[in-house]
Chain A
Amino acid sequence: MTDTTERTALTRERLLDVYRTMRTIREFEERVHAEFATGEIPGFVHLYAGEEASAVGVCSNLDGRDTIASTHRGHGHCIAKGVVVGEMMAEIYGRKTGSCHGKGGSMHIADLSKGMLGANGIVGGGPPLICGTALAAKLKGTGGVSVAFFGDGASNQGTTLESMNLASVWNLPAIFVAENNGYAESTASTWSVASDNIADRAAGFGMPGVIVDGFDFFAVHEAASEAIARARDGGGPTLLEMKFTRYFGHFEGDQQTYRANEVEHARAELDCLKRFAARVTETGELAQADLDAVDAEVTAMIDESVTAAKSAPLPTEADLLTDVYVRY
């Protein structure tokens, strides 16, 4: 594990942004969890709570030139890449005002104008796509970097492994972020991943592999910063493995009988928000009052997004047949 005693220098403003984004993801997911239980949210929902440091640690190094592809557990990546929270909530409720006008849902939230190439319902669906966005950036000389977030489950998919190989062969500005939360659905990654670490597989594709404490924002930020800088400079791809756990089940409704009590421990001892808050208040970079103000602001914003989503119009029959093609 990378233990960061030495911290990447971030301004007070950026630290507040980071905290706000991580807190927004947590609040969004906790709220969706609660609202899902009421039966008002249709379909399948997979929550990212617990993993916030990964999305925010990586995406806080990205800008408008950069593209990410996400997973079925994609809300955190969307928020970290700047997708509008109110539109995301509306999408989860299947409303016309949603990010995808209610046609995608939780598993397909995307905003290409923000460089967010979609949550993805197919495990391992994203890595080939970001090879393409990275290729486009390389050929056009934009300096853009592309990031595929994927889980420990997708680390066993051929698409992921093929993409890491292709990214090295083509020397693409691509970053592969394996979010190892310990379980692919109900199956332990210690069982399903034959190597000791997912990061070990990087050697087979001629790229650096780095294991990161996924609960530590600063560790993620530093590792991602180095990998992204290298990619921007033409140094090719990197595989980062985040080790952590998710706070909720695979999907909402999962009874999680396969798990031990690691969530309780993680929430109490390892939580990325608590650790972030402890560090920045200890160093005096931010005061507890600053964080409290962000918490209040985020809670109000999430409240508002839920209220707005619930009262937003549903798509109509006229929407059923639109946007299959640009022109047909």
Chain B
Amino acid sequence: MARNITYREAIHEALAQEMERDETVIVMGEDNAGGAGAPGDDDAWGGVLGVTKGLYHKFPGRVLDTPISESAFVGAAIGAATAGLRPVAELMFVDFMGVCFDQIYNQAAKFRYMFGGKAVTPVVIRTMYGAGLRAAAQHSQCLYPLFTHIPGLKVVLPATPYDAKGLLIQAIRDNDPVIFFEHKALYDISGPVPEESYALPFGEANVVREGGDVTIVALGRMVHTSLEAAAQLAGQGVECEVVDLRTTSPLDEDTVLESVEGTGRLVVVDEAHPRCNIATDISALVARKAFGSLRAPIEMVTAPHTPVPFSTALEDIYIPDAQRIVNAVKTVTGWSR
């Protein structure tokens, strides 16, 4: 039965249910319990934002705190995955990929191909991303395009509590390495989530609003911003179809193309920097495969080509907002040829 829980609770519930179901599932990361070796409480934190709080006592020996050594413990999770465990490692902020990326893109991503199909590496790397918490340049990035680029990785970006639970359960059961992106500004949003366990398949985008005038393709937090823009536009007589990609690898090309074939107009909204991001990727896809359907040039709404700024005044204009999406939709609807 569904009840309203937060995105944070949905992720916790997915971990707890999978750990209950399958004893090979383990969790590791910095402060995932919290307080290791310290004189006060154990399970003091449950991760920096409390996602894993409570698992430590419920699953003794299966929630491992780590030193601040991302290369070592992300690599250990990958190694353990080749040896019969299903580890879920937490890379606290995706910005920290710089100190452990080799283990992800040169090791985990390549084992299966490089070893002639003989390796199975069912590892999940949960990581926090995105701007909005005034966390500045090294704790706010959206680096999912870098992971999407790498063959061998799967990249997942849930926008809602429902998707967070179902996609994380799929990620844990999946036999390939999965990078699971959690937007730090979404942890406290609530939504209906079934109590029972369920897995959502990868590579299936979700049409979260139907409309015949313009297709808005978005992902992660930008799905919510796009829905806000679409609601405003509906009041002005413009009906937008909002497509939530859910996963960037694999990518559900068909749902995007079908929508654009119906509307003839495309706005892609991506919180990542504008070069070589998901917006450019979707734009290229549509330009190649649905060119004949397009009635206007494609518009992209993205963050600027700058690091994420700290000041409230700057970060607020850095992050794509509903008004910019509305403007982009008006640009594509105003085009005539």
Contacts and interface: CB of A to CB of B under 8 A. Distances in A.
Interface string B47-67: 000000000000001101011
Contacts of B112: 323-326
A328 interface: yes
A135 B116 contact: no
A133 B111 CA distance: 15
B82 A326 contact: no
A27 B305 CA distance: 56
B139 to A, nearest CB: 21
B75 interface: yes
Interface string A279-299: 000000000000000000000
Given A122-B102, A131-B72, A132-B77, A328 B115 contact: no
- Most chain A C-beta atoms within 10 Å of own C-beta, residue among B83, B111, B118, B250: B83
A128 interface: yes
A128 B76 contact: yes
Nearest to B111: A118
Contacts of A129: 75-76, 78-79, 82, 103, 107
Contacts of B120: 326
Contacts of A134: 79
A182 interface: no
A194 interface: no
Nearest to B89: A132
Contact of A165 (B69, B116, B176): B69
A101 B116 contact: yes
Contacts of B87: 132
B8 interface: no
A132 B75 contact: yes
Nearest to A67: B83
Interface stretch (A5-13, A103-111, A211-219): A103-111
Contacts of B69: 162-163, 165-166
Given A162-B72, A166-B73, A132 B116 contact: no
Nearest to A109: B115
B117 A322 contact: yes
Contact of B115 (A110, A127, A165): A110
A170 interface: yes
Given A132-B87, A139-B61, A166-B72, A323 B82 contact: no
Contacts of B62: 139
Given A100-B116, A104-B114, A326 B176 contact: yes
A118 B118 CA distance: 11
B106 A121 contact: yes
A166 B83 contact: no
A163 B75 contact: yes
Given A129-B76, A326-B176, A112 B116 contact: no
B260 to A, nearest CB: 23
A165 B64 CA distance: 15
B90 to A, nearest CB: 15
Interface in B65-105: 66-67, 69, 71-85, 87, 99, 102-103
A105 B118 CA distance: 14
Contacts of A137: 83
B89 to A, nearest CB: 10
Interface in B157-212: 174-176, 203
Nearest to B26: A139
Interface string A75-119: 000000000000000000000001111111000101111000110
A131 B116 contact: no
B161 to A, nearest CB: 26
B152 interface: yes
B74 to A, nearest CB: 7
A159 interface: yes
B151 interface: yes
B126 interface: no
22 contacts: A67-B83, A98-B116, A108-B114, A110-B115, A112-B115, A117-B79, A121-B106, A125-B102, A128-B76, A128-B79, A129-B82, A129-B107, A132-B79, A133-B79, A136-B79, A137-B83, A139-B62, A162-B67, A163-B69, A163-B75, A170-B64, A324-B112
Interface of A: 67, 69, 98-104, 108, 110-113, 117-118, 120-122, 125, 127-137, 139-140, 146, 158-159, 162-163, 165-166, 169-170, 322-328
Given A99-B115, A325-B112, 14 more contacts: A102-B116, A103-B115, A108-B115, A128-B71, A128-B75, A129-B103, A130-B79, A132-B79, A137-B83, A159-B102, A159-B103, A163-B75, A165-B67, A327-B174
User: What are the 7 tightest A-B residue pairs by CB atom distance, in nearest-first order?
Assistant: A128-B75, A132-B79, A129-B79, A100-B116, A323-B117, A132-B80, A136-B83
